[in-house]
Structure 1
């Protein structure tokens, strides 16, 4: 058997099939989200979003072809170069980018816009994989933890200059990959505790209740533990730090832009202003709920037809699906995403070198984060932060970046035997 034939046989067609299904279903839902019964334009009409998305899908196929015919070693060899290039793009975006809704996050090219922060995700994943493939790299050691953290935080800091909080949050997904690669569990325990305290501080109006709770917990830990001075001192300092953080968080939130404060308020009290700051989430939940078990039918969604949900073709595309295809349609799409993620875990675990495995788990982490947060946004379980549903939401930058992210891993997986040979 020729090497080319062997390569074709090693391509994971299951993953490619799931990708194709999600992209096609997303395209039909984008058309439904912008469908106007009066105008009745074709799904192929380039003057509406479904037609524009078709252009992005076509160019995505071109990107896939380039990735699959390129030398698999190219991605490893150019990983740090690509990371540096996209850091440079992120650096100049706040100065030369197109301002939309108070953010300079896009470069405008004719009728299309590109968002460098979306592409920086796969570049960051490649850079992490390159650094972590070294035999000496050990995430149990502090210096290596700081190296990994620096690679992640550099693009985050530059994205916050735009400012684009939602996209910056996505980079926290890399900590899922770091956990698989040996990051100590204590950091994740502290992280969960930090999130819990933050939610309590934001959700409870009177901080006095939190202070009483923290003091009670500290006293219980001291009484139950060994009565050593060092232990008592440590718990006391931790308790005081928690109380100080609670009050400082209130101050920080008060300095956020008004629209971001409103998003946080709506999370804890969705009914606080259903006709104002809570409009998006309220209408999204109405759309999903009105779909019932089997939905109203394709292009028959009333919430969709009458534009009740803003940004329904992008961040809130899931509510179009829920209204027109109901619980059944939503379940099918969720099943496809879960099948894709499970398949990618299988592929990542069978990799023959650390570079491919680290990159594979980075892909899984980013897709999982987008999938969970986007759907949580549409049903009111998470603040609206502008995170698209992978392969489904309208947008060229989103589709291109997720396509590149995924197919680089498919390419690496198809050459895992050659990668093993290089290690020997």
Structure 2
């Protein structure tokens, strides 16, 4: 093997970087179009959101280059410290944070700039989770290891929900896919899907009907597979837990969820209709996307976004601008880029020699997948509006920087995959 020093560009996955730059460019163009002001027509005008986003993109590229210059071993070694700093910031924001849109999630830095610690908690949690699960004698199938891994995920979730920011809190739930890849029983995924189904069913129907259905389904499974004692015991335990959950749904719905969250769920489920009130945002979002038809209205020609019919058109609802101005063809193109990126992330994760790198890469894929699925889903009415950004496209420095750090740490680990295997 040659002892010549490796260049900065050695083994970097340029295809992923190209996808990253494509999404950042798409985001900048759509932010420029969504909040375009004829008096500030330059895309680099610092008095506008698109001007600020231009700076965010440039600084993100610098951050990415710096990460690629780091020594990979430091990322694993510094994981506990990085996690600890983000936990401190999440506590600090509850004390001195600025309330924006009902969430005390921002720390004012000065000069009009605000930092959102919950965004940076994502890559910090992925790092520590990868550090822990890649340790010796750690198996996610062991109850102790599972509980510690769950605590690593749950701690930032608990602090973020106090802000309260339900959207950012739910993002961390996507890390269950990481645990599943590392050996967690698929029963946990099935159980999670079941609880979502039971939550919706218990809101739509009388809980007694739901429980009757559960009992009938469990009895059928036991009759068909009564020879398998473990399965029978599991089904009975699941039945008891499910019944307890069904009875708790009404309490959670009425006393835990905030009023606006309940209204959003009611609108999605069709329980209520309020097109000029609470359902206004979703209705305008659908109108904007649908009005784009096949090829869109053209760049800077969207009317729904231009005249502020769509709320938060440069952040949470940025996909409306894509749909209105780029049409179905443009929307499919953007979705295709995301799909290609996610598939690429999985390929990168599976080729890692280091358990730490593999686990971290799956964390990146899980978080980006959740953001894309929920953000686009809420703009077209498939999921309740919970307010999370579209990766690399939505306006915001904290969001873009955190996703850049998340992705480029993965690229750095991948570039070193043929080197020494480390925990």
Q: Relative to 1, partners in 2 of residues 1:217 and 1:397: Cα closer, same or farther, differing over 3 Å? A: same
Find the counterpart in structure 2 of residue 288 from structure 1: 289
More divergent stretch after superposition (138-147 vs 242-251): 242-251
Find the counterpart in structure 2 of residue 166 from structure 1: 167
1:10 is the counterpart of 2:23: no
Provide the TM-score with structure 2 as the length reference.
0.94
CA positional deviation for 1:7: 5.1
Contact 1:36 1:305 in 2 (8 A): no
Find the counterpart in structure 2 of residue 277 from structure 1: 278
SS of alignment partner, residue 106 of structure 1 = strand
In structure 2, what is the Cα distance between the partners aligned to 1:3 and 1:390?
Answer: 38
Find the counterpart in structure 2 of residue 263 from structure 1: 264
SS of alignment partner, residue 278 of structure 2 = coil
In structure 1, what is the Cα distance between the partners aligned to 2:264 and 2:165?
Answer: 14
Q: Relative to 1, partners in 2 of residues 1:352 and 1:103: Cα closer, same or farther, differing over 3 Å? A: same
Find the counterpart in structure 1 of residue 147 from structure 2: 146
- What pairs with 1:218-229 in structure 2 (closer than 5 Å)? 218-226=218-226
Per-residue CA distance 1:176-230 (angstroms, 9 max, x = gap): 111111111221222221111112112x143333233223223333444439999
Deviating above 6 A after TM superposition, structure 1's stretches of 4 or more consecutive aligned residues are 227-234
Q: Relative to 1, partners in 2 of residues 1:145 and 1:295: Cα closer, same or farther, differing over 3 Å? A: same
CA positional deviation for 1:102: 2.1
In structure 2, what is the Cα distance between the partners aligned to 1:2 and 1:330?
Answer: 48
Find the counterpart in structure 1 of residue 246 from structure 2: 246
Any unmatched runs of 5+ in structure 2? Answer: none
CA positional deviation for 1:111: 1.1
CA positional deviation for 1:57: 1.2
Superposition RMSD in Å:
2.1
CA positional deviation for 1:42: 2.0
In structure 2, what is the Cα distance between the partners aligned to 1:23 and 1:300?
Answer: 21
Any unmatched runs of 5+ in structure 1? Answer: none
- What pairs with 1:299-338 in structure 2 (closer than 5 Å)? 299-338=300-339
Contact 1:7 1:414 in 2 (8 A): no
More divergent stretch after superposition (213-222 vs 256-265): 213-222
Contact 2:67 2:408 in 1 (8 A): yes
Per-residue CA distance 1:214-267 (angstroms, 9 max, x = gap): 232233334444399998887566445433322321121112221111111111
Find the counterpart in structure 2 of residue 368 from structure 1: 369
1:393 is the counterpart of 2:398: no
1:90 is the counterpart of 2:87: no
Contact 2:316 2:388 in 1 (8 A): yes
CA positional deviation for 1:375: 0.6
1:135 is the counterpart of 2:136: yes
More divergent stretch after superposition (243-252 vs 17-26): 243-252
In structure 1, what is the Cα distance between the partners aligned to 2:387 and 2:138?
Answer: 35
1:42 is the counterpart of 2:76: no
Q: Relative to 1, partners in 2 of residues 1:238 and 1:365: Cα closer, same or farther, differing over 3 Å? A: closer
In structure 1, what is the Cα distance between the partners aligned to 2:279 and 2:23?
Answer: 29
In structure 1, what is the Cα distance between the partners aligned to 2:199 and 2:5?
Answer: 54
In structure 2, what is the Cα distance between the partners aligned to 1:101 and 1:134?
Answer: 41
Q: Relative to 1, partners in 2 of residues 1:165 and 1:227: Cα closer, same or farther, differing over 3 Å? A: same
- What pairs with 1:160-239 in structure 2 (closer than 5 Å)? 160-202=161-203, 204-226=204-226, 238-239=238-239
In structure 2, what is the Cα distance between the partners aligned to 1:419 and 1:12?
Answer: 18
Q: Relative to 1, partners in 2 of residues 1:311 and 1:4: Cα closer, same or farther, differing over 3 Å? A: farther
SS of alignment partner, residue 106 of structure 2 = strand
Contact 2:40 2:48 in 1 (8 A): no
- What pairs with 1:24-35 in structure 2 (closer than 5 Å)? 24-35=25-36
Contact 2:160 2:169 in 1 (8 A): yes
Per-residue CA distance 1:320-346 (angstroms, 9 max, x = gap): 000000011111111111111111111
Find the counterpart in structure 2 of residue 106 from structure 1: 106
In structure 2, what is the Cα distance between the partners aligned to 1:343 and 1:323?
Answer: 28
In structure 1, what is the Cα distance between the partners aligned to 2:8 and 2:354?
Answer: 18
